[in-house]
Structure 1
Amino acid sequence: MIFGFYAIVAAMLAVALALVLLPMIRRAREAGRPRQVFALALAIALALPIAAVGLYFAVGTPVALNGVPKQAPMNIDQALAELTQHLAEKPGDVQGWMLLGQTYGAMQKPAEARDAYGKVLSLDANNTGAMVGWAEADSVVRPDHTIDGRALELIERAVQLDATNQRGLWLLGISQFQHQKFAEAATTWQRLQPLLDPGSKVAQAVTEQIAVAQSRAGIAPTPAPGADVATGPALQVEVDLSPALKAKLAPGDTLFVYARAEQGPPMPLAVAKLAPTAWPVHVTLTDAMAMMPQHNLSSVQRAFIGARVSKSGQAIAQSGDLEGDAGVVDVADKNPIKLTIDKEH
Structure 2
Amino acid sequence: MKLAFFLIAAVMIAAALLLLLIPLMRHGRRQGHSRRVFVLALILSLVLPAAAIGLYLTVGTPVVLNGVPQAPKSMDIDQAVAELKSHLAQQPKDLQGWMLLAQTYSVMRRPADARDAYDHALQIDADNGVAMVGWAEADSLLREDHRIEGRAAELLERAVKLDPQSQRGLWLLGISQFQHDHYSEAAATWRQLQPQLEPGSTVAKAVAEQIAVADARAGNPGRTAPETPGDTQGPALRVEVNLAPTLKDKLAPGDTLFVYARAEEGPPMPLAVAKLDAAALPATVTLTDAMGMTPQFKLSSVARVFVGARISRSGQAMPQAGDLEGDAGVVDVSTRTPVRITIDKVH
What TM-score do you get using the length of structure 2 for normalisation?
Answer: 0.50
What TM-score do you get using the length of structure 1 for normalisation?
Answer: 0.50
Bigger Rg, structure 1 or 2 = 2
